């Protein structure tokens, strides 16, 4: 199985939100299948190095992709994550003991940019413990192939690839976006969106342009 992205996102600043990892219990989360371009691994010890094919990803690690850069990870529960260009994301929690015993859980912090994932055992058996956190909203799933995206407000002089906010495109299964103002369920071929933490999530009438160039995954 292989993911790819045809069109890089416009460069956005890297956000160093170290507080997102507070309280994580660290352990193996997955292994890198491939790396394209400039991709950095920031470990839980705050060491930064180039991400390499075959590298182990652990709880507490962050991955930062540059422009025209991407990476794919096979997770310990059998899921896959393909990381888009100009993305900063962290694996706060990713726990799977090798059997379905109810302890499975995953919390991913999406600080900017996006990724595509086909969830593994955690997303199928313990859906309530699988969440993607952003500064604006939480994305939850119900066993799915989906594409979360977080576009922060642009800095002066920057042009973002779309309106700022949290998006999620569902390809299969279902997902939801939740803020303090409400929740929206997202079905296949729908895109959920919320502009800020004080807004109610909605379903967009059209597919945003930045999703139109993303390649579809091959069968496992």
| In contact, 81 and 73? CB cutoff 8 Å | yes
In this predicted structure, what is the pLDDT of residue 125? Answer: 74
User: How far is Cα of residue 180 from the mean position of the Cα atoms in its chain?
Assistant: 21
Q: Which residues of the chain have pLDDT under 50?
A: 1-26, 215-220
Q: What is the pTM of this model?
A: 0.83
Question: Which of 213, 220, 217 lies closest to 85 in space, CA to CA?
Answer: 213
| Dmax (CA) of the chain | 50
User: What is the three-class DSSP state of 129?
Assistant: helix
Our CA dihedral for 206, 71, 14, 196, rounded to 10 degrees, sits at 30
pLDDT at 148: 97
- Confidence (pLDDT) at 128: 81
């Amino acid at each position: 199985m292989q993911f790819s992205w045809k069109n890089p996102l416009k460069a956005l600043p890297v956000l160093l939100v170290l507080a997102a990892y507070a309280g994580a219990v660290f352990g193996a989360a997955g292994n890198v299948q491939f790396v394209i371009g400039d991709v950095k691994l920031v470990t839980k010890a705050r060491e930064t190095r180039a991400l390499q094919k075959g590298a182990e990803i652990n709880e507490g690690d962050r991955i930062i992709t540059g422009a025209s850069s991407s990476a794919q990870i096979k997770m310990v529960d059998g899921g896959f994550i393909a990381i888009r260009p100009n993305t900063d994301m962290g694996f706060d929690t990713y726990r799977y003991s090798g059997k379905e015993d109810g302890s499975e859980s995953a919390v991913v912090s999406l600080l900017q940019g996006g990724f595509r994932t086909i969830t593994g055992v955690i997303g199928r058996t313990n859906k309530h413990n699988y969440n993607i956190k952003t500064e604006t909203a939480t994305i939850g799933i119900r066993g799915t192939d989906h594409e979360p995206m977080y576009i922060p407000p642009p800095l002066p002089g920057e042009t973002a690839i779309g309106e700022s906010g949290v998006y999620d495109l569902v390809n299969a299964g279902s997902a939801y976006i939740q803020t303090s103002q409400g929740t929206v369920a997202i079905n296949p071929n729908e895109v959920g969106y919320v502009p800020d933490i004080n807004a109610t999530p909605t379903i967009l009438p059209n597919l945003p342009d930045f999703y139109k160039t993303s390649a579809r995954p091959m069968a496992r």
